[in-house]
């Protein structure tokens, strides 16, 4: 009897969700299914799976502990546990220590607990997930894939924050995020356009619920819009992006706002949601913008800020060869891409309207000096590839 192919489970834990995927590692990595437990802690939480099995059902999950137990119970009920070879976790923050993916150990978990203050909105839940899997399946290898790793070796001047030096010694610096997406996109750019393009002057725009940009040269990150936390940079679905730090003191004086309340505001009540006062979803806002000035202004500010970062990163790179759009907005919103690129002809960015409207892979005009591409990003596949590499498992190719 032919042995079953190795199976890799990928876990992407968020502040109110657990997204997962199952890959089979044969000649190449094949995605068997995708799933998610969404809206954890709310009365309308759901559990959904698409692929070899399909369902969507309401779920009572008051916290991540209950949610991960539901997931593990489901795996065991379907005997999927027996076939699992390893689990790969997206870990948002690697701090100053972790620059490479690694197998999770007791010592690493202790270090991740110490890193939790770096990202209190994500790290505790991510650690909880690794510990829960270890308790239930102690012999199952787990690998941490750090979202900050791609930016770990930023040039020193790009890492520095202009605050007193003593904080640098505590690990306060620009870290950057979306690293798994960016690593995947660099690999895809090399596959689609050749190694010369991937080694050139590239700006990657990961625009989704979370949004950031990275300036890449020689396949390495030289700057990125997110900073010490994922709240920095461009406006996002509910995150503010960059703000005047003096706003903290102003709101503390005028509204007696605490640091915790300020953090809640800039992470969960701002961005597209805060500006529009109706929705954090770009699709909704585009539909409403002709009737609702708040929706129109939210879209306009998002496009304007992304455009500014493209200009800044072109300056940091000394020019631009390729611009890549990825993420839910970047891949699916031609109107947003067009507005971002409008007026960037001086950089050599010119779009071909029909290609852009059709979400084609290359959307730049033939006369444009800069190749503008739309590339589907796949963080789960990147995690699965990474697990195979770390543990020496079978296939490392894409699906």
Specify the pLDDT at position 53: 86
- The residue from 119, 147, 223, 321 that is catalytic is 147
Question: The tokens 């369902």 sit on which residue?
Answer: 55
Under DSSP, the state recorded for 4 is P
Give catalytic status of residue 321 as yes or no: no
Specify the pLDDT at position 397: 53
The full length of the chain comes to 399
Residue environment code for 105-144, b if the CB has 16+ CB neighbours within 10 A, otherwise e: eeebeeebeebeebbebbbbbbbbbbbbbbeebeeebbbb
All domains of the chain, ordered by start, with CATH? Answer: 7-146 (3.30.420.40), 194-374 (3.30.420.40)
Specify the pLDDT at position 399: 61
Q: Which residue ranges in the chain fall short of pLDDT 50?
A: 1-3, 81
**Per-residue pLDDT tens over the stretch 72-83:** 999 988 765 457
Specify the pLDDT at position 387: 97
Q: Which of 149, 150, 133 is nearest to 141 (CA)?
A: 133
Which helix (H) or strand (E) element contains residue 174?
none
Question: The tokens 């690697």 sit on which residue?
Answer: 94
Quick one: tokens of 332? 């699916």
Distance CA 132, CA 152 (A): 28
Under DSSP, the state recorded for 152 is T
Specify the pLDDT at position 77: 85
| C-alpha distance from residue 185 to each of 22, 205, 370 (Å) | 21, 10, 17
């Amino acid at each position: 009897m032919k042995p079953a192919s190795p199976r890799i489970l990928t876990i992407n834990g968020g502040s109110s969700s657990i997204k997962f995927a199952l890959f089979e590692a044969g000649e190449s990595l094949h995605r068997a299914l995708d799933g998610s437990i969404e809206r954890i802690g709310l009365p309308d939480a759901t559990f959904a799976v698409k692929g070899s099995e399909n369902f969507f059902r309401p779920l009572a999950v008051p916290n991540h502990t209950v949610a991960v137990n539901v997931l593990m119970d489901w795996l065991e009920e379907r005997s999927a546990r027996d076939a699992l070879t390893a689990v790969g976790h997206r870990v948002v923050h690697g701090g100053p220590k972790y620059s490479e993916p690694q197998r999770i150990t007791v010592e690493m978990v202790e270090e991740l607990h110490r890193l939790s203050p770096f990202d209190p909105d994500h790290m505790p839940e991510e650690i909880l997930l690794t510990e829960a899997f270890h308790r239930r399946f102690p012999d199952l290898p787990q690998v941490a894939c750090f979202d900050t790793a791609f930016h770990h070796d930023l040039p020193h001047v790009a890492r520095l924050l202009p605050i007193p030096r003593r904080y640098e010694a505590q690990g306060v610096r620009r870290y950057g995020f979306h690293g798994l997406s960016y690593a995947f996109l660099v690999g895809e750019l090399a596959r689609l356009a050749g190694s010369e393009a991937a080694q050139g002057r590239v700006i990657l725009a990961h625009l989704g619920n979370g949004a950031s940009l990275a300036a890449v040269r020689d396949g390495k990150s030289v700057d990125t819009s997110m900073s010490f936390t994922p709240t920095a940079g461009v406006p996002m679905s509910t995150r503010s992006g960059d703000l005047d730090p003096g706003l903290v003191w102003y709101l503390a004086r005028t509204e007696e706002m605490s640091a915790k309340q300020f953090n809640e505001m800039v992470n969960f009540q701002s961005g597209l949601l805060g500006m529009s006062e109706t929705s954090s979803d770009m699709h909704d806002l585009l539909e409403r913008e002709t009737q609702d000035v708040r929706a129109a202004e939210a879209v306009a500010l998002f496009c304007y800020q992304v455009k500014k970062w493209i200009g800044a990163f072109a300056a940091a790179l000394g020019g631009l060869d390729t611009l890549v759009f990825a993420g839910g907005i970047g891949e699916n919103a031609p109107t947003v891409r067009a507005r971002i690129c409008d007026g960037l002809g001086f950089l050599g960015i010119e779009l071909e309207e029909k290609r852009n409207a059709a979400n084609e892979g290359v959307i730049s005009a033939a006369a444009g000096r800069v190749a503008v591409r739309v590339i589907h990003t796949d963080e789960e596949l990147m995690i699965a590839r990474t697990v195979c590499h770390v543990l020496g498992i079978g296939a490392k190719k894409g699906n």
